[in-house]
């Protein structure tokens, strides 16, 4: 059951991140970002790095240590 909970939380984070990136795309289409004002885009990039690190931790803890 831990596997399914961890996978479900990761999937939820991916859905949130995809929504975040879709919002960035809409803002980019409407020219809301400039070279000085682009925090929303940077925040989306940092969020995806966070999700990557969490997935690496989950992979190691479930597949390597769990076997």
Widest distance between CA atoms in the chain? 49
Confidence check: pLDDT of 20 > 90: yes
Site of tokens 């940092």: 46
Domain region containing 42: 2-64
Confidence check: pLDDT of 65 > 80: no
Percentage of the chain modeled with pLDDT above 90: 54
What confidence tier does 49 reach under pLDDT thresholds 50, 70, 90? very high
CA distance 53 to 47: 10
Output phi, psi for 57, to 5 deg: -60, -45
- Residue predicted with more confidence, 54 or 22: 22
**In 1-67, alpha helices (H):** 2-29, 39-59
- The count of structural domains within the chain is 1
């Amino acid at each position: 059951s831990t596997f399914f909970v961890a996978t479900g939380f990761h999937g939820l984070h991916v859905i949130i991140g995809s929504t975040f990136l879709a919002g960035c795309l809409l803002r980019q289409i409407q020219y809301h970002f400039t070279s000085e004002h682009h925090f929303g885009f940077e925040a989306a990039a940092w969020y995806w790095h966070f999700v990557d690190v969490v997935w690496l931790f989950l992979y190691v803890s479930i597949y390597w240590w769990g076997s």
